[in-house]
Amino acid sequence: MNSSVDHLSPTTSSARFSLPSKPTPGSKLNIYERNLNKTRLSEVSAASLSFLFSEIVQYTQKRVSGINDLERRLNTLGYRVGTRVLELTAYRAEFSSKAPKREIRLLPALMAIHTQVWRAVYGRPADAIEKSVENVDEYMIIDNDPLIERHISVPRDLSGLSCSSFSAGIVEAVLDGLGFPARVTAHHTPTATHPTRATILIKFEKSVLDREDILK
């Protein structure tokens, strides 16, 4: 309570909105001296994230020729995020445990993406995991209202584009890191209640299912 009042008072708030004359001690720290758990519960405002992502999409769109290319590039960008998210969330979850564990089974790994990874990136778990009926090697993660697409309306000539390709890239990186190589794509699958619903389709390589059979 006290701290929030401090922020609002005019005498102390000036430093928050203008550049401080002297660098604060915190800014001198290099990355190796920072505590990895310090920012665990801090959040980025959804507005800045939307703004940043909109710039990412615009930047990417200027450099591609077609929807497939655009989705592939967004996927690549997401992949770079995913490798870091995986390492950081696992570190935060396992660092204090006596015997740190990696996920080696398929379903727990998917559950971890659905809950932990989604929570770390978007602040809440995804809405569902489904297994494809037609193909045994396909799984789907469903987000009814993807945070990054909330302020994006796709023009008609780009219909079929799903900006959640970025999330697909994150999922692909996490699965790759854990040793479940897969091809991950995003699809726009609107329903009456959820017009921006996105489905992340995961198609595993054959080796993944073979190994899963052995582990059973």
Binds other proteins (CB under 8 A): choice among 70, 77, 90, 148: 90
Separation of CA 2 from chain center: 34
User: Closest by alpha carbon to 170, among 105, 40, 80?
Assistant: 80
Contact between 164 and 198 under an 8 Å Cβ cutoff? The reply is yes
Sheet holding 128-131, edge to edge: 128-131, 138-143, 198-204, 182-188
119 binds other proteins, rule: CB under 8 A: no
Contact between 49 and 147 under an 8 Å Cβ cutoff? The reply is yes
179 binds other proteins, rule: CB under 8 A: yes
Binds other proteins (CB under 8 A): choice among 41, 47, 133, 215: 215
211 binds other proteins, rule: CB under 8 A: yes
Binds other proteins (CB under 8 A): choice among 20, 66, 100, 190: 100
The count of C-alpha atoms lying within 13 angstroms of the C-alpha of 10, restricted to the half-sphere facing its C-beta, is: 0
Nearer to other proteins, 5 or 31 (CB): 31
Binds other proteins (CB under 8 A): choice among 75, 78, 103, 202: 103
> In whole angstroms, what is the distance from residue 97 CA to residue 82 CA?
23
Query: Which residues, other chains included, contact 160 with Cβ-Cβ below 8 Å and sequence gap of 6+?
Result: 67, 188
Stretch of 62-70, 94-102, 127-135, 148-156 lying at the interface with other proteins (CB under 8 A): 94-102
Binds other proteins (CB under 8 A): choice among 44, 51, 55, 91: 91
Query: Taking CB under 8 A as the criterion, which residues in 9-38 touch other proteins?
Result: 30-32, 34, 36
Interface residue list for other proteins (CB under 8 A): 30-32, 34, 36, 80, 83-84, 86-88, 90-91, 94-95, 99-105, 176-179, 211, 215
